[in-house]
Structure 1
Amino acid sequence: MTKQGFWHLVAENDLFEMVEKSGYGEREFIAFQKRRLRNSIISMAGAILPAILLSPWLSFLAIIFFIATWRNQYTKEKKEFQDLLFEKQTSWFVFQRLVVAYLKGANDSIISAFEKVLDRLEEGEFKKKLHSLIIDITNDPNDVKPFMRFAEEAAGGTDESLTFMTALFNFKNHSHDSSVIDSLSDRARQEMKRGIHEIRKMKEKSFYLFPTKLTMLNVIPMFGFMAGVAQNVFSNNMNF
């Protein structure tokens, strides 16, 4: 369902989804948008003094500063979300491999395997989500929703996590074929390789873009200088 309202209207298409997958809701989203607007206005006000002291032509920098700050806030939020998602994926890879190993090793039940994984995990959000999952499926063993909710909250709702948890639910309730676990083991191994490759690629991309960002910062003063020169030339020609 599409959200309505001014703050959603001026937001990027994926911003609210990132906020939700980070574990927050509408209130935090609006607070972020308000803070984003405030910072953009403050940044825009920074162009007023140069326009007064040097040249009115520099007032156009206010628009540039506003847009740059507004966009930068989104870019920063997206990077934080990606870092959070990478952290979730790392925990998810560990979870996958351990669950499959326990299910293959001693013919444990799903709940027993989850409890053993729980003991191996470090304290954190992922461990809390897994603990909640164990409670939910103990109370209602025939409901698939706890499995799906865990995939959404603990792994970011990726297609792979939803497929994996669906397979675990089907194995628990409808089939005890060991070939299912073998298939999950192969899938977990391939997903881990792909995930590690994607994480490395994202980190390398951030490193390569750093010189470009420095260059873009140097362009801003150059625009101001060019505007001042243009204003000076224009004024001299008018006087002539």
Structure 2
Amino acid sequence: MSEKNDLGIWIKLSEHDLYKMFREMRYDDEMFKKFQKKRIYKGIASLFVGIMLSLFNPVLILLGVAISIYQWWSDYRKVKSFYNNFLFKKQLAFSKFGRMLIPYLLQTNATLYNVLNRMLLRIEEGHVKQCLEALIIEMNDYPNSEVPFKKFAIEASGTDNSILFMTTLYDYQQHSFDPSVINELGKMASEELFNGVDEIIDFKLRKFNMFPTKLTMISLLIVAGYMGAVFINLFQSITL
């Protein structure tokens, strides 16, 4: 990927966190440029429609401007929503990983390195598995370093709890070998997983609760369109 400064105008035209979201979701710079170009083309098309409509009524150019602004904002909100969903799934996958890890560590003569290698065969293909593969490689390269554990926590989840989980796991490997530490990590992983399930339930309930509101808003749009048409017709009758 090219550096952020090489993107020039595309960064300047974007919202403050848009590029960061693209990078975290592992989209390259070309995808970011393509997204920004598409937003600009859509905005220009809306403005062009507004200009054409202004030939019949100059006020209608404002409609084109409004649609252009709305499309620009709507595209950003879609990315933001997709990004939040990405973060949630990533954190949920990390919580599942943590909970699966604990029973293996509690087995007799289990070592963290061997357990992590066994986890590669258990967890599903995806982002967490890729991060785990990188962690195992870096554990070989830097056997006494805490950095690979922190890096894994940040890339696989990014939460403070995940960093605490992995640094505690590193301390357990290096110093304590106390089973009570693993039991505490198990409780932490379970709480994170249950919190994720609760968030899924809340999200689905919110979508269901908003359904009547959306139906009402659609009805209001129809009424507003009818009232707008009546007003324009009345205004044209008066002016003529």
TM-score scaled by length of structure 1: 0.81
Single out whichever of 210-219 and 37-46 deviates more from structure 2. Answer: 210-219
Alpha carbons 2:21, 2:83 under 8 Å: kept = yes
Please state if 1:101 is matched with 2:103. yes
Higher mean C-alpha displacement, 4-13 vs 83-92: 4-13
Query: 1:58–1:227: 8 Å Cα contact kept in structure 2?
Result: no
Out of 15, 22, 31, which is 1:12 matched to? 15
Cα distance, 1:153 vs structure 2:
2.0
Alpha carbons 1:46, 1:62 under 8 Å: kept: yes
Structure 1 runs not aligned, ≥5 long? none
Partner of 1:82: 84
Secondary structure of 2:176's match?
A: coil
Structure 2 CA distance, aligned partners of 1:21 and 1:183?
Answer: 30
Q: Distance in 2 between matches of 1:105 and 1:203?
A: 38
Secondary structure of 1:31's match?
helix
CA distance in 2: counterparts of 1:215 and 1:6, whole angstroms: 41
Cα deviation 1:82-103 (Å, max 9, x = unaligned): 3322322232122101111211
Residues 1:131 and 2:157 aligned together: no
- Name the structure 2 match of 1:171: 172
Partner of 2:48: 45
Cα distance in structure 2, aligned partners of 1:213 and 1:100? 45
Alignment match, 1:117: 119
- By how many angstroms is 1:104 displaced? 1.5
Cα gap change, 1:68/1:171 in structure 2, threshold over 3 Å: closer, same or farther?
A: same
Structure 1 residue 17: deviation in Å? 2.9
Amino acid paired to 1:31: K
Indicate the larger mover: 119-128 or 24-33.
Answer: 24-33
Contact kept in structure 2, 1:61 and 1:224, CA below 8 Å: no
How many Å separate the matches in 1 of 2:202 and 2:6? Answer: 33
Task: Give the share of equivalent positions with the same residue, in percent.
Answer: 35
Where do 5+ consecutive residues of structure 2 fail to align? none
Amino acid at match of 2:102: V
Q: Is the 8 A contact 1:58 1:228 kept in 2?
A: no
> What is the deviation of 1:210?
5.2
RMSD value, Cα: 3.2
- Is 1:189 matched up with 2:190? yes
Q: Is the 8 A contact 2:47 2:61 kept in 1?
A: no
The alpha carbon displacement at 1:130 in A equals 1.1
Aligned-pair CA distance for 1:113: 1.3
- Change in Cα spacing, 1:26 to 1:147, as seen in structure 2 (3 Å) is farther
- 64-73 or 167-176, which deviates more: 167-176
| 1:21-63: CA deviation from partner (whole Å, max 9, x where unpaired) | 212355543432222222233344344454445x332221112
Instruction: Report the Cα offset of residue 118 of structure 1.
Output: 1.0
**Offset at residue 149 of structure 1 (A):** 2.0
- Within 1, Cα distance between the matches of 2:6 and 2:212? 37
| Code of the aligned partner of 1:162 | I
SS of equivalent residue, structure 1 residue 105: coil
Cα distance in 1 between the residues matched to 2:222 and 2:66: 12
